[in-house]
Amino acid sequence: MLEVYGVQGLDEHAKGCVLVNNYPIKTVKIFGRVLSSVHKNYDMNGRANPNNFYIITVDDCSGDVSHINIKIPESCIFESFNEDSLVEIVGHVSFFQDYSRQIIGERLTVLSIGPDLAVEIECWKLVLATRRHLKHPWQYKPDVVQRTEPREPKFSKRDYLHRLEKQNLRIIDPESQIPQVLSVSDSFNMEFIEVTDSDVHESSDEMQLRQTPRLHTLKPDNSSQCDTDIDENSSLPFDEPSIIVLD
């Protein structure tokens, strides 16, 4: 770990991490035959000492130098074993005496008291499968963060209702709107009147003035003769005869 990462790998080195190819490994499991074992007992006055441990030498038959020293606390051993026993030990790697490696055992399982070919074959299947996996370097594959297809913006229910409310209001620019022409007829003069949208902007007084009927006074021509039923000697106060027309 220190050879590859230098000072940055010092923390992981202190935790017992090792690099196999480029795989950082902290917990290991080994299988082998017990060659020797030494028990370190620190009991005093009949009291068990929690610092008692075993030093076990195991041969895993992995190469020319296949002897591995394992330090395992006495409290982690629940089964009796002896030399030539087949054991399986789980632990982590520790360094001592100028980076010499040893395994600190956390659990010991006795697979067989003596030689057993069937047990060895099953364990070697697991060993070979692990070797094939560690043979190929580990490659980092980041997760895909962005998709090729653009995502549509998400709207909440509140935004959706607000958009519907704006659509119902029908907000339109009056300058860009085409004026609508309506044709109506007047009952008094029977003429067609065109009303456009621009008339809406007129004041209320102008609208009231347009709707109020107008009186027109017509004076008859004196030169022409008109027949009336009114006697010339009557006392009606008509100084100037006139006709009132309601428009």
**pLDDT at residue number 167:** 77
DSSP at 181:
-
Q: Is the pLDDT of residue 141 over 60?
A: yes
**Measured CA angle at 34 (ends 23, 78), to 5 deg:** 90
Average pLDDT score, the chain: 71
Domain membership of residue 104 (yes or no) is: yes
Structure confidence at residue 230 as a pLDDT band (50, 70, 90) = very low
Per the structure, the complete domain to which residue 93 belongs is given by 20-135
Summarize pLDDT for 68-114 with one digit per residue, the tens.
Answer: 888 888 888 888 888 888 999 998 887 766 566 778 888 898 988 88
Domain membership of residue 191 (yes or no) is: no
| CA distance linking residue 204 with residue 201, whole number of Å | 9
**pLDDT at residue number 82:** 84
Domain membership of residue 84 (yes or no) is: yes
Domain membership of residue 175 (yes or no) is: no
Mean pLDDT of 129-138: 86
How many domains does the chain fold into?
1
Give CA separation, 42 vs 47, 71, 81, in Å: 9, 15, 21
Summarize pLDDT for 175-184 with one digit per residue, the tens.
Answer: 555 555 555 5
Give the CATH number, domain containing residue 118.
2.40.50.1040
**pLDDT at residue number 178:** 55
3-state secondary structure of 178: coil
Q: Which has the higher per-residue pLDDT, 41 or 199?
A: 41
Domain membership of residue 12 (yes or no) is: no
Q: Which two tokens stand for residue 30?
A: 């080994």
Helices and strands (DSSP H and E) totals, the chain: 5, 11
Domain membership of residue 208 (yes or no) is: no
**pLDDT at residue number 181:** 53
Domain membership of residue 226 (yes or no) is: no
**pLDDT at residue number 202:** 47
Q: Is the pLDDT of residue 241 over 80?
A: no
Domain membership of residue 45 (yes or no) is: yes
Residue 115 makes CB contacts below 8 A (sequence gap 6+) with 33, 84, 86
**pLDDT at residue number 155:** 67
Neighbouring CB atoms inside 10 A of 68's CB total 19
| CA distance linking residue 1 with residue 144, whole number of Å | 30
Q: Which has the higher per-residue pLDDT, 156 or 59?
A: 59
Neighbouring CB atoms inside 10 A of 88's CB total 17
